[in-house]
Amino acid sequence: MIHQSTVVCEEMGGNYAWEVVWGGEGRYAWIAIYPRPSECPDSFYNGGVENPRDLEFGLMTVSRKAGPTTAAKQEQGARRSSAVLITGAGGEVGHGLICALHGAGGNSIIATDLRKLEPDQRKMCLETFVGDVCDETLLDRLLAMYEITEIYHLAALLSTRAEFKPETAHAVNVGGTLNLLHLAAEQTRSHGRRVKFIFPSSIAAYGLPDVATKEKAGAIREDDYPSPTTMYGCNKQYCENLGRYYARWYRQLAEDRIADILDFRCVRYPGLISSETVPSGGTSDYAPEMIHAAASGKPYACFVREDARIPFMTMPEAIEATLKLASADASQLTRCVYNISSFAPTAGEIANLVKEYFPKAEITFQPDQQRQAIVDSWPADIDCSAAQRDWGYKPRHTLESAFEEYLVPNIKARYEPSV
């Protein structure tokens, strides 16, 4: 059974209240500090705890008269530290965001991932946690320890993997996002400042009915063809709508609702190509896989047709655009969801360019009908005019310059032996 009560911290002059949640048999989950005075209810001392005078909470101890111990206060501080939260931080987008935010003077980054982050990432963060965005205990702990002012929610199960375990994908992609939106709303209620929620979505949120329609449609806008055919796409589109709901209509019938409780901003990524990591789990991964295979001297069988076309951009451009949207003046934003992309080649055009730089490359086309059908449901190109108008988005690369200036030099350095 879970109990919840509030205790006034007398040593802080009654300005803060400790929100206490604990399970049975004296095992305590978390403490949250909220800037509101409160009386200490009798139920706090009668919640089934044998010795309520000294309650152990791991990081802190609360007693009936003394409030938190001196050592605990020194460790935690009278106020929660302000922080920027990045989920799914172990991937390349997460690594890039950590580096960029830290380089800009941000020393209050909180990062989470299913695996322990690399040492170079951890040293740029105020704190890191190994955990799942579906773990409400972890999120409660974050809520208790920090005043989160900005969230970059990257954690997700990608398109190909999601098709093998769609229910798990829904739990992670939707359930995790809902948990974080709720956390953000509670943070706004707690510290009184609107939390900024940055959500990377995907062109998987689109769903064109057939190849003929795709060819005629050209560059499509954000609100066109909203019928995704994958669990990942359904998840992303639903989470876009969830974010819009939380930002504009959350608890709209409640008397104590806070209007515009979140600043939700979403960027729809196209296929991403990186020189640093070999991807796995995405349906658009044929492009980066092709380049990395050629550089490492391995044959590559492409799982889509030569004429398959979707939009792409380089990984650094995606990170740069995400941060640019995050820093944009809210008064200039006319929508919550924005398209971004840089170039839209066919798979055959990518293969031809790979062979120019790696003449020994062995590339064949052996389409997988199911994965090809997914790519056929995604747009051949997307209209980025809203992002260009509202917050000055501008692609850095064409396909050719991406190869010449970014992909080939870095990938060659990665695979070719040092002289």
Catalytic residue numbers? 232
Rounded Cα distance between 12 and 68, Å, is: 10
What is the C-alpha to C-alpha distance for residues 294 and 360, in angstroms, rounded to an integer? Answer: 8
Tokens for 134?
Answer: 């579906």
Transcribe 200-239 into DSSP letters: EEEGGG---S-HHHHHHH-EEPTTS-----SHHHHHHHHH
**Residue partners of 236: CB distance under 8 A and separation at least 6:** 156, 173, 201, 202, 204, 205, 228
What CA–CA distances, in Å, run from 89 to 92, 152, 329? 8, 9, 25
Residue type for position 120: D
Q: Which of 416, 303, 403 is nearest to 353 (CA)?
A: 403
* Most distant pair of Cα atoms in the chain: their distance: 78
Where are any strands of DSSP class E within 345-397?
Answer: 363-365, 381-382
In whole angstroms, give the CA distance from residue 323 to residue 196: 12
Residue 254, amino acid: A
DSSP, res 195: E
Chain center to CA of 95: 12
Three-state DSSP at 187 gives helix
Length of the chain: 419
Burial group, residue 396, by CB count within 10 angstroms (0-12, 13-18, 19+): middle
Q: How far is Cα 300 from Cα 297, in angstroms, rounded to an integer?
A: 9
